[in-house]
Amino acid sequence: MGLEHDVDYRQLLYKLLYYSLIEIRSSTEEESPSKKIYAISSLVHNLPMVLMREGNSPTANYKAAYSDILARADTLGIGGWLRSVSKQKK
C-alpha cells in the first residue's frame, strides 16, 4: 500500500523519528535500568517536532532551540554528555 502523491516526506521522516523515540523512551522507562538512556530519549523525543516547526524559516532560531535542549539536559543530569557529543567532529 503506497502513500499519496502529495506526501511531505521530510515531515513524514520527522514524524517517524518522533514516534520511534517515543517508543524507545517508553520501553526504557518500563524495562531498562539505564537512567542515562531514558534521560537521552526523554531529551530528544521532541526534537523532530522542533525541527519540523522551525523548518527552513528565515526566522528559525536553532541556537535558542539548542539552548533549551541544553538546559533540559542539565535538569535531566546529562548536560555533560550533551556537551561532549556536541563537540564531536562527526
Q: Where are the alpha helices (DSSP H) in 4-61?
A: 9-31, 35-44, 47-54
Give the residue among 36, 26, 66, 74 at the shortest CA–CA distance from 50: 66
Position 2 in a domain: no
Q: How confident is the model at residue 1 (pLDDT cuts 50, 70, 90)?
A: very low
Position 64 in a domain: yes
Q: What is the pLDDT of residues 20-42, one digit of tens each?
A: 788 787 777 666 567 888 888 88
- If one counts the domains in the chain, the total is 1
Distant-in-sequence, close-in-space partners of 85: CB < 8 Å, separation ≥ 6: none
Distant-in-sequence, close-in-space partners of 88: CB < 8 Å, separation ≥ 6: none
Residue 7 CB coordination number (10 Å): 10
Position 1 in a domain: no
Give the span between the Cα atoms of 5 and 46, in whole angstroms: 27
Structural domain that includes position 51: 9-87
**Half-sphere exposure (CA, 13 Å, Cβ side) for 89?**
0
Position 3 in a domain: no
Position 41 in a domain: yes
Position 4 in a domain: no
Give pTM, 2 decimals.
0.68
